[in-house]
């Protein structure tokens, strides 16, 4: 009885980790696709403003703010906190 409860807990935890990882990788893919698409187009006034303020010229794929900044191995949105690790 006890061990089966423990096993269920373990399975639950594994599933939670799996879902979390899957969500993160989906977000990463969205980030990459959005950034790639935006790089192929000329700069919009919003993008120019973003660059002038020290941000990346890409909009955040999650909240659409032009507040992405690049760190050593990541890009992070200062508005919603989303991060893409490169």
Which residues are CB-neighbours of 35 under 8 A, at least 6 positions away?
58, 61, 75, 84
Residue 39 or 64: the one with the smaller Cβ distance to Zn ion is 64
Residue 11 or 78: the one with the smaller Cβ distance to Zn ion is 78
Residue 18 or 85: the one with the smaller Cβ distance to Zn ion is 85
**What residues pair up with 84 in beta bridges, in sequence order?**
75
Binding site for Zn ion (CB under 5 A): 60, 62-63, 77, 79-80, 82
Query: Shortest gap between Cβ of 55 and Zn ion (angstroms)?
Result: 11
As given in the structure block, the two tokens for residue 72 are 């050593």
Query: Shortest gap between Cβ of 40 and Zn ion (angstroms)?
Result: 21
3-state helix, strand, coil in the chain (%, to 5): 55, 10, 35
């Amino acid at each position: 009885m006890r061990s089966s409860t423990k096993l269920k807990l373990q399975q639950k935890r594994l599933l939670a980790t799996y879902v979390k990882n899957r969500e993160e990788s989906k977000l990463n893919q969205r980030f990459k696709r959005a950034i790639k698409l935006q790089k192929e187009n000329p700069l919009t006034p919003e993008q120019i403003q973003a660059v002038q303020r020290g941000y990346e010229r890409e909009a955040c794929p999650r909240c659409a703010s032009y507040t992405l900044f690049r760190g050593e191995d990541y890009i992070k949105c200062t508005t919603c906190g989303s991060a893409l690790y490169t």
